[in-house]
Chain A
Amino acid sequence: MIPALAQSSVLAAQTAFPILPALIITPLLSAVAILLVPSHRQSEVRLVALAGSTITGAMAVWMMAAFDKTEAGFQFVVNEPWLTSMGLNWHFAVDGISLFMIVLTGILFPIAILAAVPQHDSKAYHAWIMVLMAGSMGVFMALDLLLFFVFFEVVLIPMYFLIGGWGHGRRIYAALKFFIYTMAGSALMLVGIVSLAFLTASRTGNALTFDVTQLAEAQALGTTAQRLIFLTFALAFAVKVPIFPLHTWLPDAHTEAPTAGSVILAGVMLKLGTYGYIRFGVYLFPQAAYDLAWIFLTLGVVGILYAAVVATMQKDLKRLVAYSSVAHLGFIVLGIFTLNTQGLTGSVFQMVAHGVSTGALFIMVGWVYERRHTRQIAELGGLQKPAPIFAAAFTLVMLSSIGLPGLNGFTGEFLILLGGFQAARWWTVFAVLGVILAALYLLWAYQRVFHGTPTGDNIDMPELKASEGLVLLPLLVLIVFMGVYPKPMLERIEPSIERLVAHVEANVDGFIEPGPVQVPERPSDAVTLTEALEEAEKKAAREEGEVEDSVDEEGREASLAEGETTK
């Protein structure tokens, strides 16, 4: 389906329709519409939310189809004045880096809405989700530094309400911790942003601007200033990602959040941090990013290993998944700070892959909780017996999270490790350990939850419903598709990444891609990269048998179940 769309992109080209503002305004309008629905008609509230998010998602997919994959620069540009005296603009655009973030947002939101029904206050819940969707869209397309900051901060508010209002257990504590942590992290970034703009303006003599491309091209800062400002950005993103040791808010927020909140938090909001590193950290401060890369490489690797170890010890299934997120994001950070095409491309790909697979994991953990009213691993067991399809779907998602070749998790991780071996060999060696550990804790958790003989309430574990299967299906398809045929994605990501790497090369003394510790000849471009990847996948193709089985089984059962309901 996607390659077909890719070919039709020639037709769509660049239309006059302001697709990017529409992606923000549509969810906002549906939020308003939700508020206008009389509160006793709960089902219509859900319908409006679903319609709004689906339309937005469809527009995002359409945009991906219309995206010109030969163009490395920004597309669908909208640039309107905002606060003229301070040089602020409503500047939106997408390139290969942000494109899939937007598509991911568009796909995950309707699924998150479908995946769980709020216990109460359906109206407010859905309105906040739609506001969150608008905000998330805004972050990924903003090219005015302050506009980005605004969206970066604004997503906190709906998320705060979602966790605090519809979460579990110590939700108020978790919501406050989440809000204050992230707000404190980004507080200094505002100082960094204005300092960057004013310093650039006074060094270059140009008018004050917050435009990302102009600031990146100017590169007017001295070494110290660039490093300090980079660190203010890095701190904000590090809290958001989160990078060890700033991750402590995440397990709380994830565990207490409602299912939709967890899905969006893991799928979209954590990516704000890693996306920020690529778009703003590396692009605006190439020299500082290069000089200080070792810090982030180290923290990334430490995060991978630490989170893996901690995840092994978790008693709560959702908390375990949360820690696995920390580990995965450590990989993404590692990939980013290799500063070469493979690593960065892998990171962007992995961001999407992680969004899909962890989103699916959280949805399924949410269903386990709905059915069994507990997430304690010790209280679950043998669920495979009463709910084999559920278990099969869970297996697939989990294997993708582990990074099994042929599934989406593998592609990204492989590219990251490929880039890592060229740029930062020793860090990567340790990171590989993380891959093994991931297999360990996820499989062990799977074994404890699904294998064995069911006891107590576990015997009556309800099977995956057809409706639930349909909700999950797009994610499962994506997991497999992205793993088997990543080319359509990679060929859109790569030009932009190469442009970014060229920018880094041009602005960093003595840096030649793909890295300082490296083979003299750089693997030239997309073709080699994709080929290398396919090569690696062919090797792994044999292992795929069982996975394919479970997919088939899942799809068959789902259609069967559907048949039953129609009867």
Chain B
Amino acid sequence: MMSLFAQVPVSTPEIQWFYLAPILILALGGVLLITLTSVAPVMRGRHISALFTVATGVLALAFLPFIAARLDGLVDPVAGQGGRPAVDLVSSALVVDHFTLWVSGLISVAVILVAVMLDGYLEREGFESPEWYALLLISASGGVILASAEDLIVTFLGLEILSIAVYVLAALHLRRSESQEAGFKYFILGALSSAIFLYGIAMVYGATGSTTLTGVAGSMTGRNAAGLSPAVDSSLVMVGIALMLIGFGFKVSAFPLHIWTPDVYQGSPTPIVGFMTSAVKVAAFGGMMRVFLVGFGGTFASDWRVLVLFMAGFTILFGSFLAIVQTNIKRTMAFSSIAHAGFMLVGLYAAASPVAIGDTGKRAVLFYLLAYTFMSIGTFAVISIVGKKGDGNHSIEAYRGLAKREPLLAMAFTVLLFGQVGAPFTAGFFAKFRVIAAAAQVERTEAYILAGVAMLGAAVGAYLYLRVVVAMFLDVQESPSTEMADSADETLALVEVRALEVPPATLAVVLLAAVVTLVLGIFPDIGSGALAEAALALVR
């Protein structure tokens, strides 16, 4: 026993706190919020929690340009993969590069916007709870950890922090049994997918003897004549990769792991759904890109990208076609978010291409995430407003005549919906364009087919958004004589819509999202410098 204590002192790793700022701010913000509200009753005011969360998000965001500047100023980047500036932190557990910054930025923005709309939501629903915001911040910190993880164990933990908090958030509308059910369902299926993901990590570790991405990548270089990698056992690695793909596929709701999405979206509190479609998707795709492109990007890319190809195609088709028969807007948007995930997978497929053009694919996914973050948050902010007290007014019929009652809201919502269609001069168009371009650049028959399938899915999917637009604009002038039976319902709907309360802050979120959607659609060059840097950081 003595020998144990006689050992040399533990050499704790050196920590460059500055680079860790976004993670620390978000995580400590959450902890601090829960602590302060527990000890100081003054802090329990509703707006104070929201303000605190927004401030935390803004602070995290404010650090990013400085970190970027510091990164660019590095004379000798520690982990400069392919010469790109990057910093390895805390014995290769985390890496901070421009990719991390891009993802952190999007997650911070999502936190800010969701916190703002959550404020109005909680006030309406009569909740007085700082824990919503604390969980939001903790979840966001998990997302940033996930996207910057350099070690598969950290990846897993980041994924779990991100998820656990969201499971709880999904169930947090305590007066709605649907919400509880959604949280429970999400939790059970999520736990299963996490277990599968962990299996995958174990397999990869078993084959390569390393859990760090660079270690994994290092042991996977080259192939022998039989098509097998000399250093690792191919089938073990492939199974491991496939299992991890399942884990990530669940989080981004890709086919065939999308089944949970409509139920969970329908039941969860609407602002939280906004968080799921933005921050959770961004983080999951961030982690997925880093693990798959950096870790498995070498020899095995040509194997797993086939899986991604099929996943992408079926995800888009399922998302687009199943959305048509929905009558609940949250379910509709759930299918739409599935379809969007499919588009991003197309980008990932292209990013994994062996040619030196994967860059276009990476940029496509990153831009898509940017566009979709704003579009989906704005969309769910509108849905949250229209949901009314009780968060249950979600049939597409509820949107009848919205244009008459709330013209500004309806106009912004129209922009957001057309953005999701991929209509020209919206961010959604360039998101789709970049993805399709990336697929075309692969110059393979299956990539062209995938691009074609994706565009057809987009055209079919247009119908689901237009149905909502139709409800908002076109039904309002229905003359009473057309159908007597309908007119009673219609008046009722109009009366209901009139009773809509629109919190100014939430409206501001919607308008901001709409404006960003338009601006990115007209001036797509904005931010392309950062985008290019972020994509280049993921060197295979």
A198 touches B459 (CB 8 A): no
In the complex, B161 has a CB within 8 A of chain A = no
Known contacts A164-B474, A165-B473, A187 near B458 by CB under 8 Å: yes
- Kindly state the separation between the CA atoms of A197 and B477 in the bound complex, as whole angstroms: 45
* Chain B residues, CB < 8 A from A149: 424
Q: Which of A81, A146, A153, A198 contacts B443 (CB 8 A)?
A: A198
Dominant secondary structure of chain B at its interface with chain A: helix
In the complex, A33 has a CB within 8 A of chain B = no
In the complex, A121 has a CB within 8 A of chain B = yes
Known contacts A84-B528, A150-B424, A180 near B463 by CB under 8 Å: yes
- Kindly state the separation between the CA atoms of A194 and B448 in the bound complex, as whole angstroms: 10
* Chain B residues, CB < 8 A from A84: 525, 528
A190 touches B436 (CB 8 A): yes
A417 to chain B, nearest CB (A): 37
| Chain B CB within 10 A, most for which of A81, A85, A121, A157 | A85
A284 to chain B, nearest CB (A): 16
Which chain B residues numbered 453 to 476 have a C-beta less than 8 Å away from chain A?
A: 455-456, 458-460, 462-463, 466, 470, 473-475
Known contacts A150-B425, A172-B474, A195 near B459 by CB under 8 Å: no
- Kindly state the separation between the CA atoms of A176 and B465 in the bound complex, as whole angstroms: 11
A194 touches B437 (CB 8 A): yes
In the complex, A120 has a CB within 8 A of chain B = yes
In the complex, B301 has a CB within 8 A of chain A = no
A202 touches B474 (CB 8 A): no
B462 touches A194 (CB 8 A): no
B524 touches A82 (CB 8 A): yes
B459 touches A157 (CB 8 A): no
Contact with B along A114-135 (1 / 0, CB 8 A): 0000001100000000000000
B474 touches A187 (CB 8 A): no
* Chain B residues, CB < 8 A from A191: 436, 439-440, 448, 451-452, 455
Of all chain A residues, which has the CB nearest B455? A187
* Chain B residues, CB < 8 A from A183: 458-459, 462
In the complex, B327 has a CB within 8 A of chain A = no
In the complex, A199 has a CB within 8 A of chain B = yes
Of all chain B residues, which has the CB nearest A163? B474
B456 touches A184 (CB 8 A): yes
In the complex, B63 has a CB within 8 A of chain A = no
- Kindly state the separation between the CA atoms of A197 and B525 in the bound complex, as whole angstroms: 19
In the complex, B393 has a CB within 8 A of chain A = no
- Kindly state the separation between the CA atoms of A157 and B419 in the bound complex, as whole angstroms: 12
* Chain B residues, CB < 8 A from A172: 470, 474-475
Q: Which of A187, A190, A198 contacts B441 (CB 8 A)?
A: A198
In the complex, A154 has a CB within 8 A of chain B = yes
In the complex, B68 has a CB within 8 A of chain A = no
Q: Which of A83, A121, A164, A175 contacts B528 (CB 8 A)?
A: A83
* Chain B residues, CB < 8 A from A82: 524-525
Which chain B residues numbered 380 to 439 have a C-beta less than 8 Å away from chain A?
A: 418, 423-425, 429-430, 432-434, 436-437, 439
Contact with B along A178-194 (1 / 0, CB 8 A): 01100110011011001
* Chain A residues, CB < 8 A from B433: 86, 146, 190, 194
- Kindly state the separation between the CA atoms of A151 and B459 in the bound complex, as whole angstroms: 17
B423 touches A153 (CB 8 A): yes
In the complex, A161 has a CB within 8 A of chain B = yes
B: contact size bracket:
35 or more
Of all chain A residues, which has the CB nearest B441? A198
B463 touches A157 (CB 8 A): no
Q: Which of A83, A154, A180 contacts B462 (CB 8 A)?
A: A180
Of all chain A residues, which has the CB nearest B458? A187
- Kindly state the separation between the CA atoms of A176 and B448 in the bound complex, as whole angstroms: 28
Contact with B along A152-180 (1 / 0, CB 8 A): 01101100110011000001100110011
Q: Which of A85, A121, A153, A164 contacts B532 (CB 8 A)?
A: A85
* Chain A residues, CB < 8 A from B434: 86
Known contacts A121-B477, A154-B424, A83 near B524 by CB under 8 Å: yes
Of all chain A residues, which has the CB nearest B423? A157
* Chain B residues, CB < 8 A from A154: 423-425
B464 to chain A, nearest CB (A): 11
- Kindly state the separation between the CA atoms of A165 and B476 in the bound complex, as whole angstroms: 9
B474 to chain A, nearest CB (A): 5
A194 touches B424 (CB 8 A): no
Known contacts A179-B462, A180-B459, A194 near B528 by CB under 8 Å: no
| Chain B CB within 10 A, most for which of A149, A150, A194 | A194
B455 touches A188 (CB 8 A): yes
* Chain B residues, CB < 8 A from A194: 433, 436-437, 440-441, 451
A518 to chain B, nearest CB (A): 37
Of all chain B residues, which has the CB nearest A35? B411
B445 to chain A, nearest CB (A): 10
Closest 3 CB pairs of A and B: A187-B455, A150-B424, A184-B459
The residues of B with any CB-CB pair to A shorter than 8 Å are: 363, 418, 423-425, 429-430, 432-434, 436-437, 439-441, 443, 448, 451-452, 455-456, 458-460, 462-463, 466, 470, 473-475, 477, 524-525, 528, 532
The residues of A with any CB-CB pair to B shorter than 8 Å are: 81-86, 88, 120-121, 146, 149-151, 153-154, 156-157, 160-161, 164-165, 171-172, 175-176, 179-180, 183-184, 187-188, 190-191, 194-195, 197-199, 202
